[in-house]
Amino acid sequence: MDSINCHMVPNGGQEENKQAENQDIHPSLPVLLPKKRKLILHLDLNNTILVSDAATGQGPRAALNSYLSTVAWGCISDIGEWQWASDQPSVKPPCEDAVNYYTHFGRDANFSDSKLGKRFKNVFNDHMKQLEWQWEADEMFTQKGEDGRSYNWILPSFFHMLESLYLQGRQFCVILRTFGVDLPHVLQSVHAALQGKHPQFPQLQQVPLAMDLVPGRIRCSKRNVVLTRGSDRISTKTKEGNIYHYFSSMDGIGGFQDHFDWWARNSYTGSGGKPFWIDPTDCDTQHIIIDDNIRLTEHDTIVNCRVLMDKEKGKESRKALTSELCDICLVPTDLLRAISEKDYFLDCVRVCEENYEQYLRRFQVE
């Protein structure tokens, strides 16, 4: 691969001045390094920007418990008993031999009330408290919990990310991607927030992001991947990079329902997961996907990541392991941080941008 110098490219002066001006107005705004690259942010819904799941009927209590069962780690003792490896939930295993609770016992919608999971009850209670809605219930932005209380439906950290990226002068697009059925409602709610209707974020009315309220679909087969939205139909049959370039050209916010049946037919492995492409030779764009089901083990991860190659050398793409691109383009959602830290998604972007620079340097050498 010929060397392509596309790292550490600064923004134009106009965007830098805009970021500096907004930083003066909002001194607490976390600063992302000014980059020329456009950000294409692919975000999952359930357990990423939502703490619920309409497809399974889970409210916030069940969804948060189920998530906790995936980030609590233990080991099997010599006599076959479960032993906790850590009292702190974490996205990545705390030690080499640790397995998460859900791998051994399955997801548990009552995890923090179970005999083994009760040690995480305080973590559960604390984050449920932070999820509570502080204003009058609103059908666009709240959900009714199993206890009858009103909770945030879309996490505030998501809306904070939209505002902050705009204030920092970043060129970006948000693509919501889900296997579930929540997408039309989510798009309508985000649209309402951008009209200034969210009581916590009325200033979003000043953020001129385009909204496409028509959900698209992505369907996979052994032959190709086909994306449809409205009158658009894009296929990888003629060129694998077609959908990548379609995503890269998008602006504002839109969404696609991915192909759950294809993932199931491929035994829930990465090979049948959400198709996601990166192109290290593209100097203008960085794609990042954030999803709670991204895992370091390929047998149960949710993203089929393809690195686009030089077709003249005989190959259009290669499969990339999650471990190769974790925190570079692939981010396993830390839902607890997404609930408790308003800058969580911004931090994900910052880390990925910094690591992507190093990845590109290695790519150029190879």
Residue whose pair of structure tokens reads 């925190």 in the numeric block: 327
Please give the Cα distance from 295 to 343 (Å, whole number).
23
Query: For 331-363, b where at least 16 C-beta lie within 10 A, e where not — what string?
Result: bbbbbbbbbeebbbbbbbbeebbeebbebbeeb
Phi, psi values for residue 233, rounded to 5°: -140, 115
- Residue 36: band (very low, low, confident or very high) from pLDDT cuts 50, 70, 90: confident
**pLDDT at position 309:** 87
pLDDT of 30 > 70? The answer is: no
pLDDT of 35 > 60? The answer is: no
- Residue 55: band (very low, low, confident or very high) from pLDDT cuts 50, 70, 90: confident
Among residues 227, 231, 232, 278, which one has the least CA distance to residue 257? Answer: 227
Two tokens at 115?
């005999």
**pLDDT at position 10:** 41
Q: Pairing between strand 330-332 and 285-291?
A: parallel
> What stretches of the chain show up as alpha helix (H) in DSSP?
13-25, 60-68, 101-105, 121-131, 156-167, 183-194, 242-249, 260-265, 322-325, 335-340, 344-365
Please give the Cα distance from 268 to 102 (Å, whole number).
15
pLDDT of 263 > 60? The answer is: yes
Please give the Cα distance from 246 to 47 (Å, whole number).
26
**pLDDT at position 80:** 86
pLDDT of 14 > 60? The answer is: no
Tally of residues, the chain: 366
Question: Model's pTM, two decimal places?
Answer: 0.90
Mean pLDDT of the chain: 90
Mean pLDDT of 85-104: 93
Please give the Cα distance from 135 to 219 (Å, whole number).
40
For residue range 125-151, list pLDDT tens digits in order.
999 999 999 999 999 999 999 999 999
For residue range 185-204, list pLDDT tens digits in order.
999 999 999 999 999 999 99
Please give the Cα distance from 14 to 12 (Å, whole number).
6
- Residue 124: band (very low, low, confident or very high) from pLDDT cuts 50, 70, 90: very high
